[in-house]
A and B are shown apart, each in its own frame.
Chain A
Amino acid sequence: MSFLVLEGLTKRYGDHAAVDDIALSVKKGEFVSLLGPSGCGKTTTLQMIAGFVEPTAGSVTLEARNLLAVPAAKRGLGIVFQNYALFPHMTVAENVAFGLEMRSVGKAERQQRVVETLALVGLAGFAERYPAQLSGGQQQRVALARALVIRPGLLLLDEPLSNLDAKLREEMQVELRRIQRTVGITTLMVTHDQAEALALSDRVVLMQAGRIEQEDSPLQAYEHPRTGFVCDFLGKANLFTVDRVDANGLTVGVLALPLPVGASADVRAGDRILVRPEKISFGTPGPGALAARVANRVFQGNHWLYQLQTPLGDALVIRQNDGGACPAEGDHVHLVWRADAMRAVPADARAAPAAVPPSLEGELEVRLMVDLPREDP
């Protein structure tokens, strides 16, 4: 049953549509992420649901109640802001109790619920501290406790983990999921970090330029992206344009490939083939093997990231760090992959030229690539 329904939701600033006619249904207890690059409209959508921005058009319904008719203060949503927005002049306990005070909950019950919620987020014993005395992770938990203690119908998270360092972020991802599952609260999270969205969500909604590009479970969205944008944004992508299709297989440049399987079997000339870097391995020469030269390889701990030059353009390969021999820079190799590793992606209006260079999405990865010196490890 749909718990939260967005229909035709639009926000225009002059001529520019920050959010352009989006429709979304969230089920009770579901964890949905709005994922996309800066400026895609995900934060604006969240703010419209929260009541801080007036939509230009469309409706927001929560449990069949028209949310837009209710002022922000009365919507009863739990919101965790990006910088936590804790009340600096109040202790942790007072911060968490604020929502209950606004609802005229009695002192004894307030105290009990505050203690319970602080225990739930793992901050028992921190009640009398001030926000300035807490670390980033602890402040985040207080913000979460403050939003949860009022037992809202919907929890809105605005890039909750973006201000934490990498290790803490991983820990908090696990914590967040645990808390959400324990409480069973319907959650809508906004993030630009795809790893976070994939890890936490029941469903991922990819947005670009104010529109929804794809909504799917994380695995489905990753394995079966439907547009070029989704391929690029989720994970790394190698996209090759198909020249010809016949009964036996595909012709991609000099490569003769078998037909892809499943839904992707319906591929046409002019479409693109997506092969994820982790699904490519170094193999022996053959008609389906792509000759390549290692331009650069980057060590990333549990895997190597290879950048290769091929007749079809640049390619990326991820090679597990399993202790075996790894090609070095300058080596000539052959890239092979299974037929079922290929996905057909339609050439869209915003298609790049034929040999699409695979993108290096993910700011963390890009930074790593730029910072690491080009030398043999």
Chain B
Amino acid sequence: MGSGRNAAYWLSAPALAVYALFLVVPIASIALLSFQNFEFYGGIQPGITLKNYREVLTDGYYWEVFGRTFFIAVVVTVLCATLGTFEAIVLHRMANPWKSVFLLVVLGPLLISVVVRTLGWALLFGSTGLVNKALLALRLVTEPIAFMYSVTGVVIALTHVLVPFVVISVWASLQRIDPAVERAAVSLGAGQPTVFRRVIVPLAMPGILSGSVIVFALAASAFATPAIIGGRRLKVIATAAYDEFLNTLNWPLGASLAVLLLLANVVVLYASNRLIERRYRAVFRESVA
């Protein structure tokens, strides 16, 4: 079987080459860049140093930025998971033609540039924006809420932008559930809420978790939305790295921020994948029959 295995490598060589060129090489260059020395007067100096990592990990400013980024990512993930699951379940139970219409409505945001979507939110937010006007008119608040340039605003806009990912993932999971299983639960005496809690959600859980992982990774590395809604003051890792690259021109420092974000995401992704697989291995193993 020797030649068989070699043939496999040769055949996958083109794909591997693309992968290497467009993914591995850029990431490797960034990683290398993060080890380089940058002087304010003089630019990038030759030599390897850990100075950038030391700076990031000892400066309270950067800890705040990391903290804010992951706080936003976690809150957005939880909100997206909850909302997205409900949306997917409602969609799943809809009859055509409404189903197709609402599927488009839910997935529509993905068709529009994230910048345009976020600018839309910028219009709605703001002390004289539509959201505040509505809240004031309904007398739910006595003065406008500051959504713009706040973490709340970033969370809301990011949730709107990322919910479709959870919907798609959960939707796929729901399609795989045998409808007879629901009927079996009903025949055994389960009311609708119990069917939902004991049968549907557990069976859709792999979809919910996968969707959440995607949302977390995207929320942690989000750039446009925190930049527009958060403004210059509220930095997340992506915007902080942007600052270093374009303002301070300290590329190595920006690179180190990027690498740390990448590492954090990889750890979260790996850990959650292991968790999902271990918990659901028995359930989704190939049937023996």
Q: Contacts A73-B189, A73-B190, A73-B191 hold; do A132 and B184 have CB atoms under 8 A apart?
A: no
Residues of B within 8 A of A86 (CB): 181, 184
* Chain B 188-219 per-residue mask, 1 if CB under 8 angstroms from chain A, else 0: 11110010001100110100000000000000
Neighbour of B194 across the interface among A79, A102, A132, CB < 8 A: A102
A83-B180, A98-B185, A150-B188 are known; give 7 further A-B pairs, CB within 8 A: A78-B187, A88-B181, A89-B280, A98-B198, A132-B284, A134-B289, A146-B188
Q: Please give me the residue from chain A that is nearest to B205 by CB atom.
A: A89
Neighbour of B189 across the interface among A52, A102, A130, CB < 8 A: A102
**B282 CB–A CB distance under 8 Å:** yes
Q: Please give me the residue from chain A that is nearest to B180 by CB atom.
A: A85
**B139 CB–A CB distance under 8 Å:** no
What would be 14 A-B contacts, judged by CB atoms less than 8 Å apart? Answer: A50-B183, A72-B186, A76-B189, A79-B183, A79-B184, A83-B178, A89-B203, A89-B280, A89-B283, A102-B189, A130-B283, A132-B283, A132-B285, A135-B288
Chain A: residues with Cβ within 8 Å of the partner, total of 33
Q: Is the CB of A98 within 8 A of B186?
A: no
Q: Is the CB of B181 within 8 A of A87?
A: yes
Q: Is the CB of B287 within 8 A of A132?
A: yes
**A136 CB–B CB distance under 8 Å:** yes
Q: Please give me the residue from chain B that is nearest to A130 by CB atom.
A: B282
- Within the complex, the shortest CB–CB distance from A140 to chain B, in Å, comes to 10
Total A-B residue contacts, Cβ distance less than 8 Å: 84
Instruction: Give the most central of B184, B203, B284: most A CB within 10 Å.
Output: B184
**A367 CB–B CB distance under 8 Å:** no
Q: Is the CB of B189 within 8 A of A74?
A: yes
Q: Is the CB of B288 within 8 A of A134?
A: yes
Main secondary structure of the interface of A (DSSP, over half): loop
Complex alpha-carbon distance, A25 and B180, angstroms: 27
Q: Is the CB of A52 within 8 A of B183?
A: yes
Residues of B within 8 A of A83 (CB): 178, 180
Chain B: residues with Cβ within 8 Å of the partner, total of 27
Q: Contacts A81-B180, A133-B282 hold; do A98 and B202 have CB atoms under 8 A apart?
A: no
Q: Which residues of B contact A (CB under 8 A)?
A: 178, 180-181, 183-191, 194, 198-199, 202-203, 205, 280, 282-289
Complex alpha-carbon distance, A342 and B224, angstroms: 87
Neighbour of B199 across the interface among A73, A79, A87, A134, CB < 8 A: A87
Q: Is the CB of B187 within 8 A of A77?
A: yes
Instruction: Give the most central of B190, B284, B286, B289: most A CB within 10 Å.
Output: B289
**A225 CB–B CB distance under 8 Å:** no
Q: Is the CB of A99 within 8 A of B188?
A: yes
**A139 CB–B CB distance under 8 Å:** yes
**A167 CB–B CB distance under 8 Å:** no
CB proximity to B under 8 Å, residues A131-151: 131-136, 139, 146, 150
Q: Contacts A85-B180, A139-B289 hold; do A73 and B187 have CB atoms under 8 A apart?
A: yes
CB proximity to B under 8 Å, residues A49-63: 50-52
Neighbour of B289 across the interface among A52, A78, A136, CB < 8 A: A136
Complex alpha-carbon distance, A240 and B192, angstroms: 57
Q: Is the CB of B183 within 8 A of A85?
A: yes
Q: Please give me the residue from chain A that is nearest to B188 by CB atom.
A: A99
**A350 CB–B CB distance under 8 Å:** no
Residues of B within 8 A of A88 (CB): 181, 203, 283-284
**Smallest CB-CB A-B distances: 10 pairs:** A102-B189, A85-B180, A99-B188, A136-B289, A85-B184, A130-B282, A79-B187, A135-B289, A89-B202, A81-B180
- Within the complex, the shortest CB–CB distance from A198 to chain B, in Å, comes to 26
Complex alpha-carbon distance, A81 and B205, angstroms: 24
Residues of A within 8 A of B186 (CB): 51-52, 72-73
* Chain A 87-112 per-residue mask, 1 if CB under 8 angstroms from chain B, else 0: 11100000000110011000000000
Q: Please give me the residue from chain B that is nearest to A98 by CB atom.
A: B188
Complex alpha-carbon distance, A136 and B186, angstroms: 23
Instruction: Give the most central of A51, A79, A86, A87: most B CB within 10 Å.
Output: A87
Complex alpha-carbon distance, A234 and B98, angstroms: 46
- Within the complex, the shortest CB–CB distance from B150 to chain A, in Å, comes to 40
